[in-house]
């Protein structure tokens, strides 16, 4: 592989941060290029230094970084990479963030709260990004926070194909774990041709990450139930939803989510739950010690690589998704 790809007078160069090197390498492999070598390290006080070892003048730069823990360090590293590319005269800079950090803070629920998702977009704009690319944003409105093109990729086709290949959709019900995920669950139900159910639940306003499940709305008796969400963080919501479905007579409970954050007690909760399979993608790195028998990890790299190819060739990213307009 070469470090660059050319098309007419344009040159594609791929740059990867240190957060998820396995995904970076896989995307590069699908594109048929190598990652541009760089010198990156932390000073003793934690400040980050980045320098690219090749000229980037006039290139179409794609900077990939997964916002995993420690999330603030990796966001800062990607910002510094963008700044370095801008100052080195890269022609076009696309920030590829398979997982968009701070996406859950997309609006104010109470006074004196930040809208951190907007701040992230503003920082990348200030650093010099011309375009953003992300997978399964927590809410679609985040696309409007960046004053430029935003490519919102969907992992649903990858996840849905896996489910359809291994389970019978005729006896399946798609389940939204809360009211906020109903739209996503509805798209799943349309794709697989299944009925839809909803978990009605309420959060405890006095305790962070605490959820109380109330009831199942929809027919789940004797059926395989597929809980769908954009991410699994501490797994409190998803495991309590699974308990409610099993208590409601579900034969089997599966979970499909794009982003495996898996914070704190998540792995133990999922391992000890009645869930039969947890299907996620590798938008975030999952170390071996956080993997378990029920976990299936699907690669997002082919989708990200195809989207980068379409952007570089000035094609259509929307064409990658059936019904995604």
Entry pTM: 0.93
**In terms of domains, do 262 and 306 share one?**
no
Mean pLDDT of 33-39: 98
**In terms of domains, do 110 and 56 share one?**
yes
**In terms of domains, do 217 and 119 share one?**
no
Residue 232 gets the label, from left (phi > 0), alpha (psi -120 to 50) or beta, of: beta
In a domain, 238, yes or no: yes
Three-state DSSP class for residue 111: coil
**In terms of domains, do 126 and 251 share one?**
no
- CATH number, domain containing residue 199: 3.40.50.2020
Q: What digits encode the pLDDT tens for the residues 249-276?
A: 999 999 999 999 999 999 999 999 999 9
**In terms of domains, do 247 and 311 share one?**
no
User: Which residues contact residue 25 at a Cβ distance below 8 angstroms, ignoring those fewer than 6 apart?
Assistant: 16, 35
248 pLDDT exceeds 90? yes
In a domain, 149, yes or no: yes
Q: What Å distances lie between residue 196 and 91, 162, 171, CA to CA?
A: 46, 19, 12
Three-state DSSP class for residue 160: helix
Residue 196 pLDDT: 97
**In terms of domains, do 138 and 178 share one?**
no
- The closest of 159, 176, 278 to 229, measured between CA atoms, is 176
**In terms of domains, do 130 and 172 share one?**
no
**In terms of domains, do 63 and 195 share one?**
no
Q: What digits encode the pLDDT tens for the residues 192-224?
A: 999 999 998 666 666 665 656 568 999 999 999
User: Which residues contact residue 127 at a Cβ distance below 8 angstroms, ignoring those fewer than 6 apart?
Assistant: 79, 80, 82, 83, 86
Residue 42 gets the label, from left (phi > 0), alpha (psi -120 to 50) or beta, of: beta
In a domain, 212, yes or no: yes
| Domain that residue 55 falls in | 4-154+301-320
**In terms of domains, do 249 and 231 share one?**
yes
In a domain, 325, yes or no: no
Residues annotated as catalytic (active site), given as ranges: 201
Q: How much of the chain exceeds pLDDT 70, in percent? A: 93
Q: What digits encode the pLDDT tens for the residues 101-150?
A: 999 999 999 999 999 999 999 999 999 999 999 999 999 999 999 999 99
Q: How much of the chain exceeds pLDDT 90, in percent? A: 88
Question: What sections of 151-235 are H helices per DSSP?
Answer: 156-166, 182-192
In a domain, 18, yes or no: yes
**In terms of domains, do 141 and 179 share one?**
no
Domain count, the chain: 2
């Amino acid at each position: 592989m070469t470090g660059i790809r050319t098309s007419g007078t344009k040159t594609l160069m791929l740059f990867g941060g240190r957060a998820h090197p396995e995904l970076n390498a896989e995307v590069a492999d699908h594109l048929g290029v190598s990652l541009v070598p760089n010198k990156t390290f932390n000073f003793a006080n934690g400040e980050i230094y980045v320098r690219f070892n090749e000229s980037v003048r006039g290139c179409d730069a794609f900077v990939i970084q997964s916002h995993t823990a420690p999330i603030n360090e990796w966001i800062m590293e990607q910002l510094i990479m963008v700044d370095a590319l801008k100052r080195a005269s890269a022609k076009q800079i696309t920030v590829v963030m398979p997982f968009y950090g701070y996406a859950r803070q997309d609006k104010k629920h109470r006074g004196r709260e930040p809208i951190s998702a907007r701040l992230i977009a503003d920082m990348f704009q200030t650093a010099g990004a011309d375009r953003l690319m992300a997978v399964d944003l927590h809410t679609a409105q985040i696309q409007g926070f960046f004053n430029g093109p935003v490519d919102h990729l969907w992992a649903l086709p990858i996840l849905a194909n896996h489910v359809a290949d291994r389970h019978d959709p005729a006896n399946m019900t798609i389940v939204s774990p809360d009211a906020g995920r109903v739209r996503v669950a509805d798209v799943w139900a349309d794709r697989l041709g299944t009925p839809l159910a909803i978990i009605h639940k309420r959060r405890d306003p006095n305790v962070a990450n605490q959820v109380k499940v109330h009831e199942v709305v929809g027919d789940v008796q004797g059926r395989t139930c597929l809980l769908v969400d954009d991410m699994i963080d501490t797994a409190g919501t998803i495991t309590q939803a699974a308990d409610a479905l099993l208590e409601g007579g579900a034969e089997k409970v599966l979970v499909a989510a794009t982003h495996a954050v898996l914070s704190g007690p998540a792995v133990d909760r999922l391992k000890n739950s009645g869930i039969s399979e947890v299907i996620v993608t590798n938008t975030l790195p999952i170390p071996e010690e956080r993997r378990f028998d029920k976990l299936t990890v699907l690669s997002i790299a082919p989708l990200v690589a195809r989207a980068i190819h379409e952007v570089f060739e000035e094609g259509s990213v929307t064409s990658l998704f059936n019904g995604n307009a």
